[in-house]
Amino acid sequence: MIYSVKQNSARLLGTFIFILAMLMQTFVHADEEVNVYSARHYDTDMALYEQFTERTGIKVNLIEGGSDALIERIVNEGEFSPADMLITVDAGRIWRAQEKGIFQAVDSTTMNERVPANLRSSDGFWYGLSKRARVIVFNKQRGLPVAVERYEDLANPALKGQVCMRTSSNIYNLSLMSALIEAAGETAAESWATGVVRNFARSPQGNDTAQLKAVAAGECGITIANTYYLGRILGSEKAQDKAIAANLGVIFPNQGDRGSHVNISGAGITKYAPNKDNAVLFLEYLTSDFAQKLFAEGNNEYPILGAASGPVATLGDFKEDTLDVQVLGLRQAQAVKVYDRSGWQ
C-alpha cells in the first residue's frame, strides 16, 4: 500500500511537471521574437509580419534602412548584433553582404526545394525571395529607327543621341554588366558599353523612374529599367503617371536566346543571430503561397513561386535568363572596370 501511494505520487508529480513544462513552453513561445533588418519599406510587408506572428506567436522586430547601410551596421555590431536576418535587394548587394562575412549557412530542405538553385547561394548563405526583370523601354510615339530585340542592340549607331541611362555605379547596371560579361566575355561587353555611351542623349543621371519619365517626355527615345519601376507607374491612379505609361513601350530583351536579365530580392540569416531557429522559420514562411503573393506585390515584383499578379502581370509572360545570380556578385569588380574603360560615368 505504501508502495502504491508513492508510485501514484510519483505519477502525479510527473504529470504536474509535464503540464508545467508545456505551460512554460507556451509562455516562452509567446515571448519569442525575430529581429529583421530590411531594405524593404512597404506597407504590405507589415501584413506579412502580422500574419507570421499570428501563426507562430513569434514577434517580428523590424529595423529598416538602405541595403549598404544595414550591411555596415551589422558588420560594426559584430557578435553583439541583435540582427537575425538581413533582407536586401539585388543579388549584387546580398553578395557584398556575404563577402563581409555577415551570414551563416542554413541547411533548409524547405528553402532548397522551393527556391530554384540559380536564385540562391550554393552554400545556403542566402535565398532569393522575389524577382524583377531589367527591360528595354522606348517612346511609343517616336518609335524606333531600328529593330531592338536584345540588350546588345542598344549599341547600334542608329540609336545615336537617343539612349538615357543611370550611372555605371548603380548596382542594377553593375549586375546587368556582370551578366553580359558572363554571356559574351569581357571584350564583347566592353564593346557594347562603349557603343551605348556613344548613343547617350545625356550624361547618366537619376534613377529608373527618371529614365522612364525622360523617355515618355521625348527627352530620349529608349532606356533600360527594372520592371518594378514600371509596375509602380502602371498601377498608379495619378493622371501624370497614366500619361507617362501611355507613352511607354516595353521590350523583354533576348527572347530569342538566353532570355531577359533577372535579379532578386533576397535574405540570409546573420552569423550571430540570437534567434536563429525563429529566423529560419520566418525565412521559410516567406516562401509560402500567402507570403509570396504579398512579398512580390509589395514592390511590384515577380514571386519566386507562383504566377505574377498586380501591374507587372499586364506586361505578359517572358523568357528569363537562368544565369546563376551568384555570378552577378562574382563579376562585379570586372563590371566596374569595363564601365570605367568604356567612359560610362
pLDDT tens for each residue of 89-105: 889 999 999 999 999 99
The pLDDT score that the predictor gives to residue 322 is: 96
Q: Does the model's pTM come out above 0.85?
A: yes
| C-alpha span between 200 and 196 (Å, rounded) | 7
The pLDDT score that the predictor gives to residue 165 is: 98
- Which residues, given as ranges, of the chain have pLDDT below 50? 1-30
Q: Which three cell numbers stand for residue 152?
A: 546588345
The pLDDT score that the predictor gives to residue 298 is: 87
- Which domains, and CATH codes, for the chain? 8-131+263-307 (3.40.190.10), 132-261+319-342 (3.40.190.10)
The pLDDT score that the predictor gives to residue 17 is: 37
Cβ 136 vs Cβ 211: under 8 Å: no
Residue 185 main-chain phi, psi, to 5 deg: 100, 160
The pLDDT score that the predictor gives to residue 7 is: 42
| C-alpha span between 204 and 211 (Å, rounded) | 9
The pLDDT score that the predictor gives to residue 295 is: 86
